Structure 1
Amino acid sequence: MAYHLLSPDTQAILLLCASFGQNRQIEPQPLTLSEYNAVAGWLRENEMSPRDLLNPTFKNRLSKVCVGKLDSDRLVALLERGVMLGLAVEKWTNQGLWVLGRGDSQYPKRLKQRLRHSAPAILYGIGNIELLTEGGLAVVGSRDVDEEGLGYTQRVAQACAEQGIQVVSGGARGVDSSAMLAVLEVGGTAVGVLADSLSKAAVAGKYRAGIKEGRLTLISAVDPGASFNAGNAMGRNKYIYALADYALVVSSSVGKGGTWAGATEALEKIKDVPVFVRMQGTVPEGNRQLLKKGAKPFPETPWNNSLRTLLDAATSQEVEPIKTEVEAANVVANEPSGVANSFADTLFPVNHSSILEIEPTKAEVEAIESEAVDVVTNKRLMVADSFAGMLFPANQPSPKDIYEAVLPFILNHLEQPQDAKSLAECLDVRKGQIEDWLNRAVKDGKVRKTKKPVAYVANQEPALLSLLEKNGGT
């Protein structure tokens, strides 16, 4: 039976973990995430992948194999649900849904790198898959937020849309849905991480245009037809934070509720996603208590400067103490790259062992090894650029700042026109960062910006060519 475009690994994971729209208490019961992790660990120990479980010969032997504390007969029965799998995938495909297994190349790297074994084995979704790699600002809050909180949420979302920052949220009533709809209304992009009813949301009128235009992606770690469950709602909170670059809690109660639970979990376990809280207007007590747990005040309005720059600056303030601006400037003037690398090494040592613990199977480990290098590289560049920004404000650029260091590499890639996204992928940096550098290069006359389509190409002046040759360009 053909399973559409599903990889063999994803087929096997679905057979083991999916409920296919049925009550999860029926026999055989699908594996929980922790049970699947046990199977995945066993597969890795035996240098196998989930697809190997589909081999008829191996399935016959599986009943005699001990996989942790799992009943082998249960595993065999789950793997024999091929007809159910085929019918379910056909139904999902007709609804416009897609499915990603944890070993698929398009599965969000951020989930695997930040959550490791807690990353969901299966993701169901609809919309533009590429949005899952864009990061952005997670905006979360109470379902019963007041009008002041809703107005603040909408202003934040509109600012994000205007500045090219994606909104990530949960789609629930109140802050979540308000943030998503507000950013879509003014042309921005959003990712919604749903706890239930993905099939219904996929055809909802309020989301239809965003999905069709490629500006909205909805995902869920539970069956597309699943109804609301408080446990699933709590469990998906960490996915919202892990998919973002920063998080904003608009409104939270103290010690109870999904917003409080998600924020405290993120502060304790997802260290590289800074959590901000609204501290303007009538501030809920939960917001104040989150500050005591390590959250930061969200930059106050008006956001005259780039919101992303304000967030990066607020994140960096407590990272590296600087004795005096003069001392720091003198050090950087002598060894700019050395300081940047030392600063980055302090925060992000090149040790991939913790990242590689994320995936138990051999195939997934191989994929993560290259992804781990990407994430360390990106973080080094983000930290170095933020560090340079503190020392050399935009209105007082230094000839030895990060922009000058990366300019030759940018120009070397722009002998032929490229768009910002493609260039960001080539250089392994954030799209927002490459856009900042490109805008500066255009202003300096180093790069030309074309229209229809929007692209960038180097100005091939003699001095520019000399600079490229000096830095190893061809």
Structure 2
Amino acid sequence: MPCCRLLWRPQRPNEDFRMNKQDLSEDTEVVLLLCGRFGGEKQEPHQPLSPREYSELAKWLNACNLRPSDLMTDAGRDALSSLQVARLESKRVEFLLGRGTAMALALERWARGGLWVISRGDMDYPKRLKRQLKHAAPPLLYGAGDKTLLEKGGLAIIGSRDASESALSYTRSIAARCAHEGLAVVSGGARGVDAAAMQGATEAGGYCIGVLANDLLKTSVNRQNRIGLQEGCLVLVSPFFPEAGFSAGNAMGRNRYIYTLADQALVIDSALRSGGTWEGAVENLKNGWVPLYVRTPGEGPGNVALVADGGLPFTLTADSTDSLVDLFASRPVDDVQSGSDIVETQQLLLVPEAMVTAEAVTAEIPSEPVQEKSQPLVSPEALASSPAPQPATATEVLAPSEAHASGDAVGTVEEPAMAEQPAQLLSCLSLDMYADFSAKLASLLGGGALSEEDIATQLCIEKSQAKAWLKRASEAGLVDKLKKPVRYALGRQGSLC
């Protein structure tokens, strides 16, 4: 079998061809053959290696004292005959290594968009990813822009694609503050909070790292994004096929890279137990990658639960003059709240009833369409000078929730301790009558579980109305419906892991 470079370099239009002015390393060429997608793989007899499969192969290569590029040599091919890794037959590896022509055509397409490709063995692969994720770090990274920005760290800003205008305005102000203090902004490139964060940073002359789940090639050639890429203040990166459309799995999977490319993270608003923001924040808390700050008070019902599970309250207002750098430096990475701190934080998160507005309700993230048209991370309209800039629109990448299956047995629900505050109940208040009911219900159930009839009697409302509102509160996870006898208690702060 000829070497990898002979498989595909003759397909180049001339010897001066460069992928973003830099050839692939020999190891990266082989990793790309093994793991990369070039289009049309569904019709092929063998599929590219998944990241987990490649990690198993990498362990085997290390045990054999081989590098990926050695697989294109006689010694490497001889070693393949003794490959004994689950689901990795030598004939599959040999087939993937023979895809040189398909790789050449893909590289030419990507080069025209200014894309580069690096693998875990390259010197410019982000050390942050390898340090945090180890063998779970993606075998390949595709990107556009200055790769050195991937080592800048900074603040990951995360939130809903359907955030309120007040939340978007707050996001832009925090991102601009990052720019003024020399902190890069890491975000996911979706519309809503992601786009507002990147808009706020770029308009203030800061650096942005966009971690995309789909349409990297289309996004990189957008005229507005090209400006940031060429000026060296924007880098776009993705572990997925640069021409891939929207995928819920990819959108959820890229969350970890947003966190691990940052020094700390800030959740603007989160739904409760659902949505991409919630799932990513919970994964970060579970793995302890970076300190998780949560806007306090926020508009999302999940904010309270994230703080209760270890997140740090972020109380800076949009017009605060306090330094972000000083704030982050004052909290050690392993800072964990005590139980009393959690109770105090929950009380702080309770928005006074008079301050609650109709826009203070952030809906949970709905299901995404299968694929959406790619749009710039920062739209031309948002870049135009305006006294009230509108949020930029971005490539849609936030995924629908892949809710974790509960491991709890079905049965009677334990009544919560009185010390556990119903913060997430009050954070969902709005101006309709249900909001007033919710506030009074929180106070009423603080003394223990009550029946539907008792609740209706004490709140002086019809039993049918109480039943309807209790059903609504139960479906939102704000109260627990107990059995034998049927009663209602305040929702518990369950484990988020």
Query: Which category describes the TM-score, using the shorter chain as reference length?
Result: 0.5 to 0.7
Q: Distance in 2 between matches of 1:294 and 1:29?
A: 40
Q: Distance in 1 between matches of 2:333 and 2:215?
A: 39
**3-state DSSP of counterpart to 2:331:** helix
Counterpart residue number, 2:111: 93
* Structure 2 gap segments, 5+ residues each: 1-5, 13-17, 339-497
Query: Aligned pair in 2 of structure 1 residues 316, 198: CA closer, same or farther (>3 Å)?
Result: closer
Residue range with higher mean Cα deviation, 74-83 or 204-213: 204-213
Aligned length, in residue pairs? 319
CA contact (8 A) 1:24 1:30 kept: no
Counterpart residue number, 2:323: 306
Counterpart residue number, 2:306: 290
2:131 paired residue among 113, 136, 139: 113
Matches within 5 A, 1:17-416: 17-23=35-41, 26-56=44-74, 58-59=76-77, 62-63=80-81, 65-269=83-287, 271-280=288-297, 282-301=298-317, 302-315=319-332, 318=335
Shift of residue 82, structure 1, vs aligned partner: 1.2
Shift of residue 63, structure 1, vs aligned partner: 4.2
* TM-score between the two structures when normalised by the length of structure 1: 0.64
Shift of residue 296, structure 1, vs aligned partner: 0.4
Q: Which amino acid aligns with 1:142?
A: S
**3-state DSSP of counterpart to 1:20:** coil
**3-state DSSP of counterpart to 1:73:** helix
Shift of residue 23, structure 1, vs aligned partner: 4.2
Query: Aligned pair in 2 of structure 1 residues 27, 209: CA closer, same or farther (>3 Å)?
Result: same
Q: Distance in 2 between matches of 1:114 and 1:24?
A: 32
Q: Distance in 2 between matches of 1:148 and 1:257?
A: 20
Shift of residue 90, structure 1, vs aligned partner: 2.1
Deviations 1:78-100, CA, capped at 9 Å, x for gaps: 01111112222222122100001
Q: Distance in 2 between matches of 1:317 and 1:51?
A: 40
Deviations 1:157-212, CA, capped at 9 Å, x for gaps: 11111111100000011111111122111211100000000001001233121111
CA contact (8 A) 1:139 1:248 kept: yes
CA contact (8 A) 2:118 2:142 kept: yes
Q: Distance in 2 between matches of 1:22 and 1:136?
A: 38
Q: Distance in 2 between matches of 1:44 and 1:318?
A: 37
Shift of residue 318, structure 1, vs aligned partner: 4.2
Deviations 1:292-311, CA, capped at 9 Å, x for gaps: 11000114124423211112
Q: Which amino acid aligns with 1:108?
A: P
Residue range with higher mean Cα deviation, 140-149 or 118-127: 140-149
Q: Which amino acid aligns with 2:300?
A: P
CA contact (8 A) 1:63 1:76 kept: no
Deviations 1:322-354, CA, capped at 9 Å, x for gaps: xxxxxxxxxxxxxxxxxxxxxxxxxxxxxxxxx
Shift of residue 26, structure 1, vs aligned partner: 3.5
Counterpart residue number, 1:416: none
Deviations 1:121-144, CA, capped at 9 Å, x for gaps: 000000011100100000011111
CA contact (8 A) 1:139 1:168 kept: yes
**3-state DSSP of counterpart to 1:125:** strand
% identical aligned pairs: 46
Deviations 1:242-294, CA, capped at 9 Å, x for gaps: 0001100111101111111100001111x2510001113x5211111100110
Query: Aligned pair in 2 of structure 1 residues 89, 250: CA closer, same or farther (>3 Å)?
Result: same
CA contact (8 A) 1:299 1:311 kept: no
**3-state DSSP of counterpart to 2:122:** coil
Query: Aligned pair in 2 of structure 1 residues 25, 308: CA closer, same or farther (>3 Å)?
Result: farther
Residue range with higher mean Cα deviation, 81-90 or 65-74: 65-74
Deviations 1:187-238, CA, capped at 9 Å, x for gaps: 1110000000000100123312111100000000001100010000000000
Deviations 1:89-128, CA, capped at 9 Å, x for gaps: 2221221000010110000000000011111000000001
Query: Aligned pair in 2 of structure 1 residues 157, 235: CA closer, same or farther (>3 Å)?
Result: same
Q: Which amino acid aligns with 1:127?
A: G
Query: Aligned pair in 2 of structure 1 residues 173, 26: CA closer, same or farther (>3 Å)?
Result: farther
Q: Distance in 1 between matches of 2:82 and 2:284?
A: 41
CA contact (8 A) 1:277 1:295 kept: yes
Query: Aligned pair in 2 of structure 1 residues 56, 24: CA closer, same or farther (>3 Å)?
Result: farther
CA contact (8 A) 2:83 2:89 kept: no
Q: Distance in 1 between matches of 2:204 and 2:337?
A: 37
CA contact (8 A) 2:310 2:337 kept: no
Residue range with higher mean Cα deviation, 170-179 or 3-12: 3-12
CA contact (8 A) 1:299 1:310 kept: no
Q: Distance in 2 between matches of 1:23 and 1:145?
A: 37
**3-state DSSP of counterpart to 1:139:** strand
* Structure 1 gap segments, 5+ residues each: 322-474
User: Would you tell me which structure has more helix in proportion to its own residues?
Assistant: 1
Q: Distance in 2 between matches of 1:26 and 1:95?
A: 26
Q: Which amino acid aligns with 2:305?
A: Q
Q: Distance in 1 between matches of 2:135 and 2:190?
A: 26
Query: Aligned pair in 2 of structure 1 residues 259, 9: CA closer, same or farther (>3 Å)?
Result: same
Query: Aligned pair in 2 of structure 1 residues 320, 284: CA closer, same or farther (>3 Å)?
Result: closer
Shift of residue 22, structure 1, vs aligned partner: 3.1
Q: Which amino acid aligns with 2:169?
A: G
Counterpart residue number, 2:30: 12
CA-atom RMSD in angstroms: 2.0
Q: Distance in 2 between matches of 1:279 and 1:61?
A: 57
Q: Distance in 2 between matches of 1:230 and 1:33?
A: 17
* TM-score between the two structures when normalised by the length of structure 2: 0.61
**3-state DSSP of counterpart to 1:188:** coil
